[in-house]
Amino acid sequence: MTLVLAMYDYDTEWSFDDEPAKLEGKPSGILTIADSVITAVGKPTTKLVTSFRKTYELEIRVYEPNFNNDGSLRNYLYVQSKHNCLLSIAGSTLVAQHVLNIVTTHLGNLHYTYDFKKREHQIIRNCQPNPLAKGRYSDWDPAESAGLLSADYINETVIHSIRHIIDATAVDRAGDISQIGTNFLLSFQCPKNNAFYIYQYDLSVASSGELEIKSKKIARDDIGIIGMSKEFYEDAKNTYLDCLQRNEKPKSRMIEFMKAAIDKVQMTSYEIDYPVIVKRTDGRKITKELIATPTTNL
């Protein structure tokens, strides 16, 4: 099992008087807090792997076109814009790793192009038909494609990537597709408006027996949680909101929440365990902190 939390982080505004410090009105980054154990289902739960990474650092890269002398498309060699994001996983480890590979490929190989019919610059995925492949273009100006990469497009690309799982299981359903159920959290700063976004994706079996993808954007007064969400969502959200209401940065208390959750679960099983991995993105860099297993006083 797994427990991963994703939440908007805030800086404290400077105060030059006796008033208590306040959190800034807009998020300054995103925090993810995750346990790091893989278990085998059973009674009691068996730990298979410890220190397993459940939040991955991915690059979103958009390449600019390179042209021949006659204006025909030659290739895509140079990255015009690059951004970072965090992708957290829970559920079927094999399915999650497969989705992770597909998401990494799609987000890391976006292309700027030009639609001759609409007469506008666009971004396409590497798997899409490229209008530049059938036309002539000259004097590519990166400024004309600035601002095209948005949170909506990044979200659509991740959904497109996860949908590969549905397409791959549509032909052969000899196995139990309920085991495919997997959840993801995507955390990033939008290159277009500089706002921070958390998206949650749930791949599960619908009442019709078909696989479906549900996605939602996490609001600022909410928290993203995957894995043991039924057990801990309400308490995690309330703890987070209490931090904001008290003008406290959420990091310390949410780490303590994770520790308490592990202690509670380990009264009966090892479904979540140390070390706890804390990652933060501010859009420019990603930082990492490891909370090791607490030592026992003898």
Whether 109 maps to a domain, the answer reads yes
Q: For residue 296, is it within any domain?
A: no
* Among 281, 52, 62, residue whose Cα is nearest residue 189: 281
Residue 297: inside a domain, yes or no? no
Instruction: Tell me the residue type at 284.
Output: R
Is residue 89 assigned to a domain?
yes
pTM (2 d.p.): 0.92
68 lies in which domain range? 3-13+21-291
CA atoms within 13 Å, Cβ hemisphere of 9 = 22
Q: 53 lies in a domain?
A: yes
- 79 forms bridges with which residues in the sheet? 63
Alpha carbon distance 112, 145 (integer Å): 7
Q: CA–CA separation, 65 vs 255, rounded Å?
A: 44
The pair of structure tokens assigned to 189 is 């700063």
Q: How far apart are CA 230 and CA 258, in angstroms?
A: 15
| CB hemisphere CA count around 246 (13 angstroms) | 10
Dihedral of alpha carbons 215, 216, 217, 221, sign: negative
pLDDT values of the chain reduced to their tens digit, one per residue, 298 residues: 899 999 999 998 766 666 667 888 899 999 999 999 988 776 667 888 888 999 999 999 999 999 898 988 999 999 999 999 999 999 988 899 999 999 999 999 999 999 999 989 999 999 999 999 888 887 788 888 888 999 999 999 999 999 988 887 755 555 567 778 899 999 999 999 999 999 999 998 888 878 899 999 999 999 999 999 999 999 999 999 999 999 999 999 999 999 999 999 999 988 999 999 999 999 999 999 999 877 544 3
Q: Is residue 191 part of a domain?
A: yes
Q: Contact at 8 Å (CB) between 67 and 73?
A: yes
CB 78 within 8 A of CB 101: no
Structure tokens at 106: 């799609």
User: Which amino acid makes up residue 143?
Assistant: A
155, part of any domain: yes
CATH number of the domain bearing residue 201: 3.60.20.10
CA of residue 164 relative to chain centroid, distance: 17
The total of structural domains in the chain comes to 1
> Among 101, 45, 57, which Cα is nearest to 82's?
57
Residue 43 included in any domain:
yes
